Every structure is written in C-alpha cells, then in structure tokens.
Structure 1
Amino acid sequence: MIGRAALALSALILTASIAAPWRWSQPAGVAAPTVPADNPMSAAKVALGRQLFYDADLSIDGTMSCASCHEQKHAFADGNPTRPGVHGDAGRRNVPGLANVAWLPVLTAADPRVTTLEAQAMIPISGLTPVEMGMHGSEQEIPRRLSRDTCYRRQFRAAFPDRRGRIDMTSVAMALASFERSLMSFDTPADRGTLSPEARAGKAVFSRACASCHSGINFTDGHFHVILPVNMTDRGLAEATGRAEDEGRFRTPPLRNVAVTGPWFHDGSARTLRDAIVRHPIALDAADTNRLLAYLNALTDRGFIENPAFAYPDDPCGRQ
C-alpha cells in the first residue's frame, strides 16, 4: 500500500508540474503571445516538440527533419535560396527564420489563412506544393514509427496527460508548435541599446526609409507588399485570394537576425543583404546604405543562435 501511495503521489506531482503555466521570459513591455486554448504551453510539451523538430522520422524516407531546413546557426532559416524536398522536388520559396514566430501575425510568405503554428507544421510534413517531407497520404506512418519508441511513449504521456499520451498527428503538431513558440529572441545590441555610432546612424536611416513596413517588435507589419517584379510562376498572395491586385504580394519578412537568415526575399534571389536593400524602392546613397547595414547587423541575437536549449537534444531518445 505504501508503494502504491508513493506512486500515486509522484504521479500527482508530475501532473501538477506539467499542468503549471509556462513562464514566458520576454522583456518588459512585450506582452506574451497568444496561445491556442486547446494547446497550452508546458515544459514537457516543449521538450517533446524539440525532439520531434530534429527527428527525420517525420519524413517519408527518414532523411529530412524540420531542422534540416531550419538551422539554428541561421536563426532557423536555411542559408540556401530554396530547399529541395525528399524526392528532389525543387523548393519554391526561401526558408524563413523562426525567431519570435509565436508573435507573428502571419505565418507564411503568402497565405494569410494559415493562422496557427499547429496548422503550419503540417505544411512541410504533408504538403504537395511543393513536396517537402513527403508524408502526404502516409501521415499515420509517423505515429506508428514514434509509438515503437519507449522514450517517445514516455514523452507523449508527460506532454499530453489530457490526451492520455495519445501519439497521433494532432499531438505531433501541437508539440512542434509549442517548441517553436519557445524560440524567443530579444537580446540584440539594438535591444540592449549598445549600438555602435554607425549603427545608431543606421537606425535613423531605418526609421526614415524602412519602418513603415518593418514595424513592431519583430520589424514586420504582417501585411503583403510587392517589392520584386511579379513572376507568374509564384503569384504570391493572389494564389490564396484569387484577386489580380494581389499578384506578387508577399508578407513583410521580420528582420530579427536578418543578417544570418540570407539569402533574402521570398525566392532567395538576393545573395547579399546589401543587394536586398538596393532592390527595395527606396533612395539611399552609399553612406546611408552602409549605416543601414550596420543597424541590420545589430539585430543579430548571438544568444539565440547559440542557445543550447534550442539545439539538437543532448539525449535524443537514445538515437544517433
């Protein structure tokens, strides 16, 4: 009886710990992001999501994980113009970074209908335009693979006591979304007020020439604009709305860690940050361009791209 009582007490303590509210650590003046009521944050859920984020078993042939395209050293962007899928299908758009993605009002480059990270997580896993991880029609293979792993069964029980540890695609998407919401980046020289003189001058240039679209805590208005010449092979927002006036419109990208997320633009066609600036419809001389570059470089959060809490898990369920 004593053993059963102790076991019950341990289970109660574990459940209470898992159910405890997630403690956001954003700076003063920044409100916590909105989290879906049916997927509250927990440490156990974030840990599971991190495990899944780095697991190539989420792809059809076990060769591609979320982290294959979202690399921490690039602030969870890719470093390539686009990334081919598991079957060699050409990538369609540049991989976006994930810093502060929990705060972003728009989650994709050109589809405002994707409003939650849970929904967005399924696009690379089972999407068809283009095929990325290749699980369309085989989604149930993922729960089957994960259910064979004792470590995963334990992690799902800890993360989803309300779902009795059920391993299905709903839980997978919820865990991935929870990890992504934990990817917080608010510690740059610009945040700390430690800008160099040139970067301070660049901030003034930015306020004058860029801030009308790159606004807010993540330097994006969340709206869709035409910057590059319209390319009918990728119609941008028009593909979602069907409206001719939306041809070539893409989301204003957030600029946190922008210096390490290149190449730039939705198609990755700007190979340097300078080129990305020059191709905007703003008139800057060489001196102001250099000042602006200094400021944009000051938006890099070294702690974010080197944070071990976001890196490949030290003990990935015993996997190599």
Structure 2
Amino acid sequence: MALALSALILTAAVAAPWAWPLPAGVAAPVVPADNPMSATKVALGRRLFYDADLSIDGTMSCASCHEQKHAFTDGNTTRPGVHGDAGRRNVPGLANVAWLPALTAANPRVTTLEAQAAIPIFGLTPIEMGMHGSEQEIPRRLSRDACYRRQFRAAFPDGRGRIDMTSVAMALASFERSMVSFDTPADRGTLSPEASAGKAAFGRACASCHAGLQFTDSRFHAILPVNAADRGLAEATEKAEDEGRFRTPPLRNVAVTGPWFHDGSARTLREAITRHPITLDAPATDQLLAYLEALTDRGFIENPAFAYPDRPCGKD
C-alpha cells in the first residue's frame, strides 16, 4: 500500500502542469516537446545547478559562475576554469533565458538550454568544469546519492529515473527556464521622472538593438575593436564580415550584471554606454542610467525558489 501511495503521489506531481508566473500579455516560452516542464524536474535541476560534483574536481558548480545576487552573473571580468584556464568571456545572466533564441555570445547554433549545458561541463575552449573525457563520472557520482535517485525517478518516470547526462541536461534546462523576471519598476510603470526621461533616450539611442521584452534583438553586432584572440561570430561561421560580432546582450537586471560587454572590459555601466556608437550628452546619459537601474528585478535576485536548495528530499 505504501508503494502504491508513493507511486500515486509521484504521478500527481509529474502530471501537474507547470504554472508560469507571467504578467498579462506575456506568452509562455516555447519548451522542447521532449522536455516538458514539471515541478519535480525544476527541483532536481535546481539542486544540480548548485552541485559542484558536476565538475571534475568537485570545486565548481553552475552557480559558481551564475550567482543569484548578480542576476546569475558573477561580477568578474571572466572566470577561470577548474584547472586555472583563463575564461574567454564575461558570464551572461540567466533572467528569462527561456525566451532567448541565441544562448551564447557568439554561436547561433546553440539554440536549446539542453545543448548549452554541455559547453561549461565538457567544453575545451576554454576548459571550465573539466569533465571532457569523464562523461560517465557525473552519473556515477549522482547515482550514489539516495536523494538524487528519488529525484530522478520523480522527474523522469518514463525513463524509470535513469541518471545520465541527457536527464541531467534536461533538469538543468528546466530549472533555468523557471528563472522568470518581469517585475521591475519599468514593468510596473513606476519610473521616476529621471528614469522616464531615460526611457525616451533609450528609445532613441538603444532600442533598435536592445529590442522587445528582453531588450535584445538576439542578433550579432560588432561594437568593440576586433580582437584576434576572440573572433566572435566568425569562429562559428568562418565569414570575414562576422569578425568581432557578438550577440546583443539582454538588459534585464543590467545594473547588477557588471562588468559589461562580452569581455567584461567596461568596469562601469556609464563606460559601457559611452563605448557604444551613440551620442548622448551628460544629462541624457544620467537619465539613461536611471532607466537602466529601473530594469532591476529585486524579487528575481532575492527569490528563494532560485537559491541554494538546503533541504533536498526534506533533509538538511
């Protein structure tokens, strides 16, 4: 009877539709048909996101680089990997990542969060979490944990709780898709007079590229001088005209995600503005900065649902 009851509870949890916490007028993102959202999958992905066992020496988790207080960036120019390899690019934020068609700074072919998960875990240029060549180590480590075994069974009942890198990537992607951020002063229409003026300046100078609800056209542009050490989009396309092109970064929570640009070379948001090919006088720049500050979602960066899960399976 106890087993039957557990199965019933498990089925109910899996069958419950995912409730997207969205404001009126915002459509839910497209989710891969083979990885539907569920509360159990999100809970598993949240635990995996904070688990350093996903790195070769157990020192780096996804959250090591994506810190909630920085809107899931890390406040550094770039981040070295587990072996000390220098990072190439500034860590991107994860707010509303479920809506983004381009998921990396310079590779348009990475279009799903499931595929993106392999880049930090197994990538070689640069080495981040260092698991290349040890692909079976993560399932082995996770399978030793009784709580993980329960969570994988709950999240993937059709696969009977199989623990492999496919299910790990699916769970991580589900947690990342749950990172919804639409509660800023700009969203609520509670802008200060200075920020309201900055919104007008933004519309004139910035909105052609930083467009739409996520403040990005998801296209690739060249703003900074070309650096031979990082060719940007050209590394994926091998086209000369793509040298130095990088994805337009989304601007939600931009005030807390510095340093800025793909290489983290702008130490202040004011510097990032002045390095764009736009013309704004000092008062207009101040107003624009006030508007960009109003894109900060305090609830998002303090939401306990995205924080370290200190009681997985109901235990400390």
Alignment of 1:163-178 (within 5 A): 163-178=159-174
Deviation, 1:201, is 0.2
Map of 1:33 onto structure 2: 29
- AA at the equivalent of 1:66: C
Map of 1:94 onto structure 2: 90
Deviation, 1:100, is 0.2
Map of 2:228 onto structure 1: 232
Deviation, 1:317, is 6.0
Task: Give the Cα separation in 2 of the matches to 1:262 and 1:46.
Answer: 27
Deviation, 1:26, is 1.0
CA deviations on 1:235-254 (whole Å, 9 max, x unpaired) are 00000000000000000000
Map of 1:54 onto structure 2: 50
Aligned pair 1:122/2:118, yes or no?
Answer: yes
Task: Give the Cα separation in 2 of the matches to 1:101 and 1:84.
Answer: 23
CA contact (8 A) 2:258 2:269 kept: yes
CA deviations on 1:146-198 (whole Å, 9 max, x unpaired) are 00000100000000001110000000000000000000000000000000000
Aligned pair 1:74/2:66, yes or no?
Answer: no
Deviation, 1:16, is 2.9
CA contact (8 A) 2:13 2:40 kept: no
Deviation, 1:215, is 0.4
- AA at the equivalent of 1:162: D
- Structure 1 residues 245-254 or 310-319, which shifts more? 310-319
- AA at the equivalent of 1:245: E
Choose the corresponding residue for 2:144, options 133, 148, 153.
148
Task: Give the Cα separation in 2 of the matches to 1:94 and 1:205.
Answer: 26
Aligned pair 1:303/2:299, yes or no?
Answer: yes
Map of 1:12 onto structure 2: 8
Deviation, 1:10, is 4.1
Aligned pair 1:269/2:250, yes or no?
Answer: no
The count of corresponding residues between Structure 1 and Structure 2 is 316
TM-score, normalising length from structure 2? 0.98
Aligned pair 1:244/2:254, yes or no?
Answer: no
Task: Give the Cα separation in 2 of the matches to 1:130 and 1:117.
Answer: 19
Q: Structure 1: which 5+ runs fail to align? A: none
SS of the residue 2:117 aligns to: helix
Aligned pair 1:287/2:283, yes or no?
Answer: yes
Aligned pair 1:109/2:105, yes or no?
Answer: yes
- AA at the equivalent of 2:156: F
Task: Give the Cα separation in 2 of the matches to 1:119 and 1:224.
Answer: 20
Map of 2:194 onto structure 1: 198
Task: Give the Cα separation in 2 of the matches to 1:273 and 1:319.
Answer: 42
Task: Give the Cα separation in 1 of the matches to 2:96 and 2:159.
Answer: 28
SS of the residue 2:7 aligns to: helix
Task: Give the Cα separation in 1 of the matches to 2:263 and 2:157.
Answer: 42
Identity of aligned residues (%): 86
Q: Structure 2: which 5+ runs fail to align? A: none
Task: Give the Cα separation in 2 of the matches to 1:175 and 1:7.
Answer: 25
Task: Give the Cα separation in 1 of the matches to 2:244 and 2:129.
Answer: 26
Aligned pair 1:158/2:154, yes or no?
Answer: yes
Map of 1:85 onto structure 2: 81
CA deviations on 1:76-125 (whole Å, 9 max, x unpaired) are 01100000000000000000000000001100000000010000011000
Task: Give the Cα separation in 1 of the matches to 2:314 and 2:134.
Answer: 25
SS of the residue 1:110 aligns to: coil
CA deviations on 1:256-277 (whole Å, 9 max, x unpaired) are 0000000000000000000000
Assess, with a 3 A threshold, how the Cα gap between structure 1 residues 254 and 292 changes in structure 2: closer, same or farther.
same
Map of 2:204 onto structure 1: 208
Aligned pair 1:42/2:42, yes or no?
Answer: no
Deviation, 1:8, is 2.1
RMSD: 1.2
Task: Give the Cα separation in 1 of the matches to 2:76 and 2:11.
Answer: 43
